[in-house]
Structure 1
């Protein structure tokens, strides 16, 4: 491809008929059509013509598989031939970046990326861009707010870019289902683009409200004459949508076991949580199916290997969280099954849109579960913080004499790290704070808390949840329902879904498969990892603890009956531990399962009954953690364990004014340091016992209650503290 020199003006653009011929030729190379007979769709051509011939800004809202990437790759090739600078594509999709770099090469377009997975290549890539050796630079949105990138690389890109592409543009809008604050940094890039540089925004999932908001934020809405909005039908003729309600999680696993092999080709099984993905994957693997779990906790290399196995049809399915998300490009994907319902029909449409892009028929099935609503509530709790928490953060930054890093800022505010970072990114775009080397600073600019907008967004989320309930329960056309949620004016009955055809999946499962699934889900026991390091910044809030927790003060690895987020014991424990559930004696089935956990723990490699030379000694007593909400539950659990294990119940760790609410680690340690304590009687009993103790609580979230209670018991003379809880959050 011709290399433009710095400062070279684009060549004159040929007549539209010649441009169309050139565009179709590039498309043929892109798709590997040796005969050169492939032609652009009419709307694809309209977008390319607007970008190349008229340097306009365009917003393209088209279904997955329509060919949005063809628009920007063809436009890039044509613009580069005419001397324009490289195309910059902002995309959150690491998987799609890999796919697109390979696709671009087929069209003679040299593409490189800068993202969190290739940090060692950043300097080389930036040098290649500066030398004119790169036609397309794919950039992840978080790079836009990196201080070095923002201050040094971004201005050069803005000055030399020939085309700016914003992929998955719905992420810009906080009305969208996948709002990402980093995306709003695009305002800066757009403002610094030289006059006449075309801009393309693309998405497959934007209703009218999100479309208008994206257009406004991208600047395409400032002058209607300058903006081109191309919105097509969102119908997917290859997809057959179905819903199947089953009695419980065991039936869902058994159904998958019995029917997975009959689903066409290979596909994706989506779950709502990491725990569920690991649970479903482990069960199906044990039953002989070739599946791989795919979650955000995996190393990048493992995720890439899993993607490649699915692309090559070496596995029947990836069992994935939204970490796989939008950015997976496999045209022959034959099915998408959801074990659990997403909270947004728009998000659901996006995920199911991965299937059937290059085949005539693909199956899409929703298997809703009772845990869905609890998971929705949890993610809803992570919304933009209340005004007092935002103001507190701004005050702390304003009073600081230097930039504050997240670890330094976190102890001084009542927000967890991930939520704090999200809030700061929004404030950065709003001009109230600025990210610099070393951390964050307050700008002193006037800032207003837009409570009305945040409330409306929260209301919109609740409306989306209600729509998802209606989708699962509805008797009308399912594709029409989803299209109407996206304000698709042409929405009409599809004639393909289960409701349109009356062709429903049967709930029948083999008894052997159901017994196996019940056994798998009933198997209790999850390891609880102890805290080993104190949170950063504790001395700054009056707690003189820092660095590594001394080995002699640490808790040992513990056990939980299950995770609140899993589909096995989680479904049993959530009603027992949910707010407002009341207090009462531990149910017999729960206590019996805890006893099973203890027995398995004792026989584990580190357990006291394992016979291993370095095995931990048998516990000599039980200690409960006091509770202001469930004293009977925890007390009866501790009594039951003591009775079964023939150990004394030594007493209860006092919890003062009550445990702290949801907060970050530093604040929780600060609160617990003053709240937890041992009575003289309990301290004497611990010293007299002189051995390992079981420490019993209802559930653990951050792990700090267990860590600080264990520290008190170890200091009092316990040789080890073994935490045992009903549930592990997360």
Structure 2
């Protein structure tokens, strides 16, 4: 049964309420603190009624107060420790600190504190810990699952599932390991209260989460407490500009007009890093925060933002759930997330404890291409699942992920995600030594995955509609976001650019400066131009062969380090496909038609001139004397014109192409390193004519030309062939890198 309550609830008095209120004031450090509508109702349902409760409330409402106070009150009544499933290490740090303020003895087990695990285990054994926070991924760890989890289940006084939308593959941040919590809930039985919390769940996600919380038999009905998701402090806006140049120029000129410190979100790592480099100035620091940022540095950057030591963090979605700065002054997006729900989650970082916070979206033309890339990599395919299950069943012993890669043609990131999905469904199990098949039947739910994919496309369309809101009856950005979350209580905000007109500086307005300092805006045109016109991204060569090639290529397959004399040299591309600036015309040149076939055309003069700049600025130790092309079955005209143009302009010898194996077609997309090398191993050859011309060069360097560098294995295999045929250093050169 799903019982939904829309708060506010009763404001009655009771002994439990008095006790909870005293604990709340200790937690917040404020003698005048009082419960928000719905907070005590949730605590009462958990502590007195031992119910299963789903709380859907806006960010900043105080969901963590509900579970810490409930845990404390349960402990006072003799219950065992609470187990909190928390998705992010950064979130755990803040949660542990908050718990200690309320007198709750909280500890966390994560990859960030392995040296503390034994002490924590001893504390649990001694009943000296009130709350244990773990990640959902921890539940997959064989040692934790076998040694710690059974004892926790036996003694658990409260289970909390934070960011519960991650349970649902309808949600914007689905994590397969969260699905395992359904089994954990069932193991606890109906007598143990369970709390799930989220700020970003529409009705479909709420239904899915409530269904999974409702496992465990009679008496396990779910109470859903759902409040208004609108944020009165947020002032929303969207500004569509023509291109990257205008968007970056706008940020350089007007960042200081946004009060306080904030977050500037970008869709890719390279864009976030470029933004930080562009905007960072003495007296107005901007730093990058991405998936490539070391965990220790992440903590330092988060604290710097909290302490207002930086104007902004230029971040990817790596900075999201769990980051809490109540006075965050603004959130700007350079490029839109793929759904209004994900957008709401990110902008919800701002204005939690301020009267006003500014939120501005600067959408880009590349947004849809980036959405599509991430969408296609997030769903398991039936073919991949079948490969994995067959390989594990035939192995007879556990296989590590690298060993499995040599048996299935699935990239590492996709393989890890697929293994989690299969593990949650009981088809595979992670044991000491790797993965095994359980032998349990597994059905690929094509209908469900197809429905989810359609929902994703609908969300993308809704995001485009949000960008185009232009006023009129019932038009409001906050109302639009709230209705995407199925909150029907939202009213026109009267603050957004649709309700009240543009509140943000016009693109042609005079540049804003901080404290009269014009250094932030002086030379803006030059700095933006330098970033966007920058060409020549280094491409590191592959240094080692992937493991498991002997299974695919047989005896004599290469292994270990690639010898220096057979390795490609460092290469160059004009830009990465995820970069700002030149990535846009490169994506257009390297596009596919409506049927998904690559469009083939000669290199336009505009692109050719940039290749000349790349060559001019390369800085090689010895100038190449010749050009050889990778034979292309999809863009022969493009690659051929690129190689011929370079030879002509650079006065280099045009050696033509490597020979292509008879019947070779386009390379398969995706796949992991071992299978890609196996596909390439006999694809190319050095023919007699090319061999003769290489002999005449007497070991001089050559350029190896291709259209796109993706996995870097094509250049690794081709360079090996050329070096073994007597060439000097092989320098890969392509238009773009797919990254």
- TM-score bin (small chain): over 0.9
8 Å Cα contact 2:165/2:174 also seen in 1: yes
Distance apart, 1:633 and its partner CA = 1.1
CA separation of 1:441/1:618 partners in 2, compared to 1, >3 Å: closer, same or farther? same
Matching of residues 415-430 of structure 1 within 5 Å: 415-430=410-425
Picking from 646, 651, 659, the partner of 1:646 is 651
- Alpha-carbon shift at residue 435 of structure 1 (Å): 1.2
Q: Show the counterpart of 1:171.
A: 166
1:24 is paired with a residue of what secondary structure? helix
**What secondary structure sits across from 1:687 in the alignment?**
helix
Q: 1:270 to 1:410 in 2, by over 3 A?
A: same
Q: Deviations for 1:310-366, whole angstroms, at most 9, x for unmatched residues?
A: 010000000000001212000000000000000011000000000000100000000
Calculate the TM-score normalised by the size of structure 1: 0.94
Render the CA deviation track for 1:435-468: whole Å, top value 9, x for unaligned.
Answer: 1111111111111111100000000000000000
1:710 aligned residue = 719
1:700 equivalent in alignment to 2:726: no
Match of residue 204 from structure 2: 209
Structure 1 residues 82-93: aligned runs within 5 Å: 82-93=77-88
Distance in 1 between the 2:240 and 2:508 partners? 11
The CA distance in 2 between the partners of 1:366 and 1:162, in whole Å, is: 44
Q: Indicate yes or no: 2:543 matched with 1:527.
A: no
1:440 aligns with 2:435: yes
Indicate the residue corresponding to 1:23 in structure 2: 20
Residue 594 of structure 1 is matched in structure 2 by 611
What is the CA distance between 1:234 and its match in structure 2?
A: 0.3
| 1:8 matched residue in structure 2 | none
1:366–1:553 CA distance, 2 compared to 1 (3 A): same
Separation in 2, partners of 1:467, 1:454: 20
How far the C-alpha of 1:644 sits from its partner, in A, is: 2.2
Q: Does 1:97 align with 2:92?
A: yes
| Alpha-carbon distance in 1 for matches of 2:399, 2:51 | 41
Corresponding residue SS for 1:601: coil
Once the two structures are overlaid, the 10-residue window that deviates more, 353-362 or 117-126, is 117-126
Q: Which residue number in structure 2 is paired with residue 673 of structure 1?
A: 681
Q: 52-61 or 212-221, which moves further after superposition?
A: 212-221
Instruction: Give the whole-Å Cα distance in 2 for the aligned partners of 1:518 and 1:628.
Output: 36
Q: Residue 221 of structure 1: CA displacement? A: 9.6
Gapped regions of structure 2 (runs ≥ 5): 1-11, 512-521
1:67 shift after superposition: 0.4
Q: Does 1:411 align with 2:406?
A: yes
User: Residues 259-281 of structure 1, C-alpha deviation per residue, up to 9 Å, x if partnerless?
Assistant: 11110110000000001101111
For 1:494 and 1:501, locate their aligned partners in 2 and report how far apart those are by CA, in whole Å.
9
The more displaced of 193-202 and 321-330 is 193-202
| Counterpart for residue 9 of structure 1 | none
Give the one of 562, 565, 569 matched to 2:578: 565
Aligned-partner Cα distance in 2 for 1:30–1:194: 30
- Residue number in structure 2 paired with 1:574: 587
| Residues in 2 aligned to 1:223 and 1:646: alpha-carbon distance in whole angstroms | 82
CA distance, structure 1, for counterparts of residue 540 and residue 127 of structure 2: 50
Cα distance change of structure 1 residues 654 and 508 upon mapping to structure 2, 3 Å threshold: farther
Where does 1:152-167 land on structure 2 (aligned, <5 Å)? 152-167=147-162
Partner in structure 2 of residue 537 of structure 1 = 548
Runs of 5+ unmatched residues, structure 1: 1-14, 608-615
CA positional deviation for 1:304: 0.9
Provide the rounded CA distance (Å) in 2 between the counterparts of 1:44 and 1:460: 32
Quote the offset at 1:75 in angstroms: 0.8
Q: Deviations over 1:494-538 (max 9, x none)?
A: 111100001343222669523431232111111101111111111
The yes-or-no answer on 1:124 pairing with 2:119 is: yes
SS of the equivalent of 2:280 reads helix
Map Cα deviations across residues 259-309 of structure 1 (whole Å, 9 max, x no partner): 111101100000000011011111112697410000011111111111111
Q: Is the 8 A contact 1:584 1:633 kept in 2?
A: yes
Alpha-carbon distance, 1:125 to partner: 2.1
Shift in Å, 1:217: 1.5
Q: Deviations over 1:463-490 (max 9, x none)?
A: 0000000000122200000000000020
CA–CA distance in structure 2, aligned partners of residues 18 and 201 of structure 1: 25
Q: Provide, for residues 232-253 of structure 1, a one-character-per-residue CA deviation record: whole Å limited to 9, x for no partner.
A: 0001000011000111111111
2:502 paired residue number: 503
- Asked if structure 2 preserves the Cα contact closer than 8 Å seen for 1:159 and 1:192, the reply is no
Q: Does 1:353 align with 2:366?
A: no
The answer for the alignment partner of 1:633 in structure 2 is 638
**Partner SS, residue 674 of structure 1:** coil
Residue in structure 2 matching 1:549, options 562, 565, 582: 562
Deviations 1:57-83, CA, capped at 9 Å, x for gaps: 100000000000010111111112222
Cα distance in structure 2, aligned partners of 1:533 and 1:643:
34
More deviation, 339-348/283-292: 283-292
Corresponding residue number in structure 2 for 1:276 = 271
The alpha-carbon deviation at position 383 of structure 1 amounts to 3.1
Deviation, structure 1 residue 119: 2.5
Q: Does 1:70 align with 2:78?
A: no
Q: Is this contact kept in 2: 1:404–1:438, CA < 8 A?
A: yes
For the 8 Å contact 2:190–2:219, the answer to whether it is kept is no
CA deviation profile, 1:172-230 (whole Å, cap 9, x unmatched): 00011110001111123212215521110000000000000011122269768732110
Aligned length in residues = 702
User: 1:677 offset after TM fit, Å?
Assistant: 1.7
Q: 1:371 to 1:154 in 2, by over 3 A?
A: same
Task: Please tell me the root mean square deviation across aligned C-alpha atoms, in Å.
Answer: 1.7
Cα distance in structure 2, aligned partners of 1:365 and 1:655:
51
2:721 matched to 1:685? no
